Amino acid sequence: MSIDAESEELIPFCDARTAFPGGKRLSLATLHRWRLNGVRGTRLETCLVGGLRYTSREAIQRFIVAQNHTESSGPTITAKQRRKQAETADRLLQEAGI
């Protein structure tokens, strides 16, 4: 999803440093890292208006919700684990003649 500049409350990117819950002032570099690289597959949404970067309170809320959703999701398996499971399944099917 992207920021809807008409319906969301835009805030200058540098002011977003204090817009996150917890009362701590985040580093501007942290916000740029979250916007460019993301955290656990989720990026902080931003937009450019007249050459200035903005985010929105709603985008910050979506970012936080996505982080908590990712943490509470089920365990993930690695490619190595998936490959081993597939090999075991193939072996069992061959032994069963299927």
List, for residues 36-65, the tens digit of each pLDDT value: 999 988 999 999 999 999 999 999 999 999
What pLDDT does residue 40 have? 84
Residue 70 lies in a domain: yes
Residue 1 lies in a domain: no
What pLDDT does residue 76 have? 72
What sign does the dihedral 58-60-63-69 (CA atoms) show?
negative
Q: Which domain holds residue 55?
A: 10-96
Residue 20 lies in a domain: yes
Residue 5 lies in a domain: no
Residue 4 lies in a domain: no
Q: How far is residue 6 CA from its own chain's centroid?
A: 23
Confidence grade of residue 72 (pLDDT, cut at 50, 70, 90): low
Confidence grade of residue 73 (pLDDT, cut at 50, 70, 90): low
Give the mean pLDDT of 53-81: 83
The total number of structural domains that make up the chain:
1
pLDDT at 69 over 80: no
Q: What is the pLDDT of residues 17-30, one digit of tens each?
A: 999 998 899 999 99
Residue 58 lies in a domain: yes
Instruction: Name, in order, each residue with C-beta under 8 angstroms of 77's C-beta and a sequence gap of 6 or more.
Output: 85
Confidence grade of residue 85 (pLDDT, cut at 50, 70, 90): very high
